[in-house]
Amino acid sequence: MIVKVINRSGRELPNYQTPLAAGMDVTAAMEESVVIEPLGRAMIPTGLFVEIPAGYEIQVRPRSGLAAKHGITVLNSPGTIDADYRGEIKVILVNLSDEAFEVKPGERIAQLVLASHERIEWDAVGELSDTERGAGGFGSTGR
């Protein structure tokens, strides 16, 4: 899938770290470091502007290493970049740890995953079909 991109980050385009990776690491495009205090958040620019084909979105997901080692994650995970958005991709990072975290220029901060999606056409009805689960949710099928 070819996606048009304008790269104003001053860095290489995001790329896959391994041949079978689903996500591409995206980096922070800023001149100076940003410190995210415990339970704080920051919107980090990437310098990337994209033209996503109709029927697709780009999902912004956390990097597992930042989450596991530092408690840093993407706040609205997964974030969605819609096909009609033409602004700069920015990543909302949140620090869920008890220590301040420094985001450095050029640091890999998140993953971008291209995903196809469908659009819904609603069919307003009076009742739904029965299933074994029914209306049970939030742990109703086990722990």
Q: Is 4 left (phi over 0), alpha (psi -120 to 50) or beta?
A: beta
Quick: pLDDT tens for 1-57. Answer: 999 999 999 999 999 999 999 999 999 999 999 999 999 999 999 999 999 999 999
Quick: pLDDT tens for 109-124. Answer: 999 999 999 999 999 9
Q: Based on the structure, what is the number of domains in the chain?
A: 1
With respect to residue 96, please indicate whether it lies within any of the assigned structural domains: yes
With respect to residue 124, please indicate whether it lies within any of the assigned structural domains: no
With respect to residue 140, please indicate whether it lies within any of the assigned structural domains: no
- Residue 97 and residue 69: Cα distance in Å, rounded? 10
Smallest CA-to-CA distance from 83 within 113, 53, 48, 46 is with 53
Q: Are 51 and 86 in contact (CB under 8 A)?
A: yes
With respect to residue 121, please indicate whether it lies within any of the assigned structural domains: no
- How is 73-126 classified by DSSP, letter by letter? EETTSSEEE-TT--SEEEEEEEE-SSS-EEEPTT-EEEEEEEEE---------S
What is the pLDDT, as a whole number, of residue 134? 85
Q: Sheet of 88-95: strands edge to edge?
A: 4-7, 41-51, 88-95, 72-74
Range of the domain at 41: 4-116
With respect to residue 135, please indicate whether it lies within any of the assigned structural domains: no
Residue 26's CATH number: 2.70.40.10
With respect to residue 37, please indicate whether it lies within any of the assigned structural domains: yes
- Residue 10 and residue 133: Cα distance in Å, rounded? 52
With respect to residue 101, please indicate whether it lies within any of the assigned structural domains: yes
Using a cut of 0.95, tell me whether the model's pTM lies above it.
Answer: no
With respect to residue 138, please indicate whether it lies within any of the assigned structural domains: no
